[in-house]
Structure 1
């Protein structure tokens, strides 16, 4: 039942309000007044008054107050709710809920869920069947003709998450048209944006029943493009006409670490705006994505796959004067200048400058010193790109992917039988697959490879007669790529075409790989998903059953369940599919006449029963105090008659007490161990008890005297004051917020020690909680803690690190990663549930608790003293060396 904006789920309870007048007379009449009797000696007491006076009856204002408390309690039992607008269909009936569950709804997804649950609640009161239609494409679309109960509908809405692609309303209208029957109420929870299928879906919905559209207040913005330039990262953003005109964009690494940000400003009625994030080339090359700050959606993220940055490329310059326009490096320089940081010099100079790739024009034999340096550089993962020419044709060295025939093949000259050849179609397993070779590019001269040696290398490009044009071969962790033509137009037209730029860009993509240019198999095939975007714009590892995408399909791929947005790799080259296409618009939704329009929160009900029960309890407590006061049962407080001196003394004592308490609670004044608050009371209580027990042991056995342990919020609290933080895994681990990630990264960088306890020792799949908890964190390389680690002798001599289980595993930051901190690890990850063992919970023997406490003592000692004990093992050798020096 509803009265204006108030809805009552149990209106029968309101009938009790009719009994309030009767309740008034009952409370007024009870308790009965004392019986009056004539007692003559009582005249002696006439006129005598005392401080305590008793009342014959309860005062009328107190009775009214009690009646008001009773009325509030009755209203609470009626389960009222507040709705800003009345229900769409008070009589109920078949209800269809249409939800736009694409990434465009992600910024307001909590409001979308609330609106859907409000519609389900209204249908539940009428005991009407509920139908749900999701407009975003899915691998297994739900049948909109399936009737659901309110419980099933709420469960489905609770599990529903936005998809990383936009809704396909035309397909949704087709699926709805296949169902039968009309609806008494249709609620369309939209994303507020128009598309080609909006009109068809609106028409189909109007044909089935009355439609109400719930539209969010603001629409999402999207990044149209992102590119790395010599000046930084250039970003272009598009908005709808009613979208926000101000914002900010940031460039991030693949782990989510921010590299830089820039302000975003739309001019007047402009729908697009550009921003440049100014970064040095070496920092910009690390950018893996750009993101609109404050917006969580797949469209607010633009991926920059490996190779989209600016690799450091060395151009091996033989030196000497000459004609610049005829130089072999002139065309390479012009082709790569917009996409790479270029430097000229000798081989050894460029290698010493840490060049990621070397471009080597036609050259004869390489000097022995340069040859040795080049060999080591290739073994460590460098990329060597070579071009053929007369010198290489006459005297090839060992730095080529195939054995070359002496001399060169001439095509189209006066003395040649063969005419110039065109470039053939690129093989499907080539990094150049998908590029259409220009028909006007011809090759007039090339160096040929021995046919037998082609079995040991990869052929990335051929001429129309299948003779090799580009070959490649892995060399250690590095890669050698040979163009069988020169880098000048003398041998071919390729340096004068756009094809030259594109093939060089794809070749340099191998230099951007962190594990070396030739670490993996140099092959083509389909594009394989590496990391995929969800609807909120977060990157996650691709599922194992994700089907690869053929190159020809990838070239025209649009965001969909078969081709989801994310990072892909093929032939060692990264590519991406983004949630927002450059040709898409973000125009506000145009609704036809007959469709009512309201905000997402228009009919969201807010229960009031809890507030009314609380108010009734407060009023009853006040009534009790008033009753005690009236009968004189409350103690009377004496009037304060303090002198000025006593007031000053009390103020000084209060100030001193506050200062003492402040010093006791200040972590910079008292050493305190800390733990991360998970929100689970059982885990937080175990963490507090465990750290309290560990603090007591430290006080008893060492010179360390910690105060009570401290509970921390990783996103809000300052972590720098705590040398040791214990982080237990919650029952359902979640990714940290950006603020928490920044806070933890800073804590690890300044030398704090973090123990991540997954508490899953003995589980079948270990490590899953740690992967989720540390997602987005700049986690250094880890290694298992062995008997040589300083942790095994920091205070006690240990051989294992038992917790609730004896078979625990413990990993720590590798010594090489912690070299900047003298090899002291900043993060430990284990599965022992040590806090439970420290506190001696049930199932932990006394011996096992003692060993776990010793492990905790060692851990705190490492946090306070670093590798002090590790240095002690070198004392005998140092003493022996000092004695030798004296002799």
Structure 2
């Protein structure tokens, strides 16, 4: 396409160049600023005989500089454009616009649309009809229409993850035109020609007056055509269109989660259109390859999908207890993570609330769900979990204190369990720790060597039943089950009768644990497509389809099921686009390129009609306006520096005797220059949200919290009681808490508070299941709830010993997954976290303070194991009405008397509150051996 080297968009503005002589005259008549001099008398006397005259004209070179600057500004605003696109469409017939929208056009699609839009605008200016056709669309609608309608069709068009179909497109154009001869045929091409597809010859046969080939030289497509998992690595084949020079391209292997786990490189030699690369990786890692992609290219041809025959299982993990990540070896899930990470994709819940965490995990469709020491689940979770198992899910559970204390009628265990656990070894047991027995023949562990160094010290026991032996996969030497199972619908439930960490046995730190878990997970559903019959083996529904950018999406659109016949290789078409066909349980990959296909360039020789070539829009057409304005700005800066120099500014700066003044001047100039260059008013994004101030206030200061029951008097005593404890903490310790906060457990954020005081009242409304679930999640996340039934006196007079408040507490705890409890032992850290205490009174003094039981305590045993982590009991229970003892009025006087009336008892109630707070904030810090001498000194020993 020919044209002038450049043109002016606003040529009328060039008339301003006529004013340059007048500008020259004005500039010559304007003298420079007179030079200022100091007034030394001797210099004046020396020069008194010299005659000086003020010049009436500026220097010629300064005038020329300013004239050149003015000329540049005039030329810039006239907007000269290099190699502009001209409207040279033939007017003898409609514009036929053929646009390649196959996979190779995806990366520069916007430029192709811009090019086609310019041609449609030219047709509109000449009132020509437009016949537009897209070569990769299923429906090749080429009927001539108005320019506006063609523009709307162009805006709605998108690149497709398919090869172009030129014969069908030309046939549709020929049928739409009939006997009408086109004026201009413009082919916006990706440069690729199909096998036996002389598209340029077919377009020339339409008899146009003007035939154009646009954008073919801009396309440099490369595609992946084959991949095979060989013994030494994954062999990959690629083909390219342009073969004029050498080229190197990287290829990356990704797993199902989009992580790059392998790399290779193609090296094309000059003249080569096909190259091969090897992605080297261990065989186990190659089994995780889900797709291949060419580095730096984002289209369907640069992506190669791999089948699902060796897909890893997705395993969801749940724990009944949140451990401090600073001590991971004590976490219930630590050894499970280490055992399964090389063999499975592990997912964890995003929040501790089981009522939300379990459904969220099930939505991710895991093959396996592992629960470590979870005794009781929220009621609303059992239904979805049971349905997931019936549909083929595998539930693996590990025992622990919570499971041992769970109800015997738990439907999610494979056998009936006895209440509590069995301890083997220790001062209170006659039995010795037991090794493992040989694995039975019906077990997936059959064939594994029996480990001789594994000993079990604690386990949960199964009730003997007739089918217990059939359900046992592993047992101890005394015959008690270690691993049991039960088939449930299409799924399975598996129970390890020991904990997932090393407190009950050393199984989790052995190699046998890794192999047992791996074999159990491998039994879960996953892998290739399950065939239930001949028809199912041949027809696969669309599961994930590849878009033009080479990204898998769940939008299947109008794709049809893929028919797989014996001995026939499926081919990507409009009905079956490239992608994955099948289901999550198994799928087959359909790729864009046929195996070992080679890209061929357009055939441009022997055409019956001459043609013109043109680049895509933006390839050569560009404006000189920015360059001219930049040059004018540089000349303006140079002019300013010259004027400053001629005015003596730099001379005065050099003559200044004060370096500080010079520095100040330079700094002022620099600041002024920065202000001119940098845009004023730099804005900063404000990403604050409503409620952030309140959140920061709670995070900045420790607050004591209490549960708002809805009863005014109970809530008043709770608020005044925590206010009294806050003041006591401020006076006696370095902790200075903020004002107490009343929380609504159904909606308020609980994670801000280390401890929540809950005054149990039988007359208050029963909390909802959702509220109890939020409290359960709060305790799992590390918080502690102090339940106070305030019924020590009333419980003593009750025949059953259970007051209405205690019965209400039992109803609340029935919906919580709480650990076993015990009164505070005499050597517990609570008795010495700040004050040395032997009891924890409130208004009353008879009720013990119940906390989480330390199940590994063995009184009198010299080799007692260390307590677990810095864990703080998530639950405390008392009936001593602690808030009643702490409560004060505005003057600081006690609101309620103690029973019996004893101010020492109130003092010890305050001290109990201090110990509880220090225990919450420091854990078992005071249990360390380093503090024993100081404690003995205080005791006078």
Question: TM range, normalised to the smaller chain?
Answer: 0.3 to 0.5
Query: TM-score under structure 2 normalisation?
Result: 0.45
Query: TM-score under structure 1 normalisation?
Result: 0.47
Give the greater-gyration-radius structure (CA): 2
